[in-house]
Chains A and B, each alone.
Chain A
Amino acid sequence: MSDSTTMDQAKQPIISVKHLKQYFDINDGFFKSRPLKAVDDISFDINEGETLGLVGESGCGKTTAGRSLLHLYKPTAGEIYYRGKLIKTKADIAEFRKKATMVFQDPYSSLDPRMTVADIIGEPLDVHHMYSSKEERREKILTLMEHVGLNSEHAARYAHEFSGGQRQRVGIARSLAVDPDFIVCDEPVSALDVSIQAQVINMFDELQNKMNLTYLFIAHDLLVVRHISDRIAVMYLGHMVELGKAEDVYSRPLHPYTRALISAVPVPDPKVAKANKRIALTGEIPSPLDAPSGCPFRTRCKYATEQCAAEVPEFKEVETGRFCACHRLAEITD
């Protein structure tokens, strides 16, 4: 790192994921186990200051990807780089923890019912000994609470006394405690009431500007990420199938799966809606325990050929900054 120039640093992605695999051993009768390939060879970069939206159906491995890129699971294979530095040893991970945090999907189980709001938010500070006196700790916690719009009176209360939206604010304040520069937001609004989803998303936006944060923003709903993301990545069954600028992916999806997803998003303008041909996703998403050979999407893809069953399509750059994994990309025109 020391020899790199400032120019390099400006261009260097904050997070690089290279061929990340995360398999879980699933017990299968006595002494037998087989791997559940929750994340199977994904690679992508996240640039400083951007929001990368990660979408895909429930169970496709988004959460797992987010967690193993934070080294919350030990990756089965692959590398994660933070500002060009490989995260590998325990010391690397410990250092990484001060820079990369997470907001969890479930605002209920992610807050310890035994702790007060102040102690929950202060936990990362406690773990890293990031204060020299009790007053400093309290001051830091109150500042964090202010950032996420929580009333300071709430500091001494227990999380179960709060609504989902307020609980999620507590979770966000906790993720900000160490003053990170990268946050994995794992479906942070999907458990919330629709009426406050926008509020919380706007808050993420404001915090990003104020604190110069980079997000990996996970959602199963394209509408949610479209608003906040600079780029969007689409996952299917542990694989990444498409990645590109948010507007591009949204207005001109390339991968058959993305096309189907986008066409399923309700469009407010009836003319546009009529012009869009709806591509129905038929069939069920296969279990990651017996994923199809070749292209993971082939069981539901109307363009599938023999080649799709035989070879895994490579996730490659098809246009500048646009990645897609499909054998028949050139032939699909409609």
Chain B
Amino acid sequence: MPKLADLLVPAPLRKTPKPGEAGVPKTPAPQDLKTSPPERPTDLGRFGEKALEAPMESVAWIDQRMAASGFLTGMLFRKVPKGTNWFYTLGSATLFAFIVQAVTGVFLAMFYTPSTTQAYSSIAHINNDVFLGQFVHGMHKWGASVMVILIFLHMGRTFFFGAYKYPRELNWVIGVVLLILTMTMAFTGYLLPFDQRSYWASIVGININGTGPIVGPYLSDFLRAGPEVGATTLSRFYAIHMLLVPGAIIALIGAHLYLVVKLGTTAPPWTKADKPRIAEPTTLLDAGVAGNGYHPNGTGTIAGVQIDGHGGDGTATA
């Protein structure tokens, strides 16, 4: 029976099937084909089969173009070192808190108006009228605190575990920038509800920036966007909080996680590798991204121990 792809793709564009593949008769058609067609499944049956095939077909279609499945399985089944414990969940917990902020933030943005005359009432509208409004608003508000706590805990973990040392220095640097950006989010988000607390706290915050050496006054002028904290300040904070910083955070989290996968996470510093006397059979899936670029060849003598039986280690899946 024809594949769904063949039904959709016009004939000239179709892949030329290799001999032996489904649809290419290896031998001439049997004689009786010419007289009585072979039994065909009912239309309903064929539709069901096709429907079953469709998801796999489209996944395959995408994978043929992205060639991502090797990388993805490599990432998913890469080995994390012995001793990895609950402290290692703090980074992904931070990521998760960020996702909560992003999702709740999108919903808040649907109802929020960044103008000095309407900001306050639009938040009141969210709180009082919108279905689950106060709940989502509350999640965003408290999620900010949770994310700040988690990012500090995660930084503390990597600090005390010495995880910022070779070869993960760059990931630490990216992390510190993420920390600054997260605090920027906390600061700029605080003005948006435009109640007394946020208004006056932002004034003090902007003035604090203004006392800084050299760039201080420029920074506070930029933040205030005018002689007084007002409409322009609010829209500037809004743009920073909604576009600029989240974009930068997403990009940097991407880079951060790329390095996490590429370099692998540390083992806790107390964990010792007792050297194996006989090489252990490693699973086939150990290949992939686990193969890091540090060993010129994946197999061979490592620390005086012959390691073998793990075809593919060191040769990252393309």
Whether chains A and B associate is no
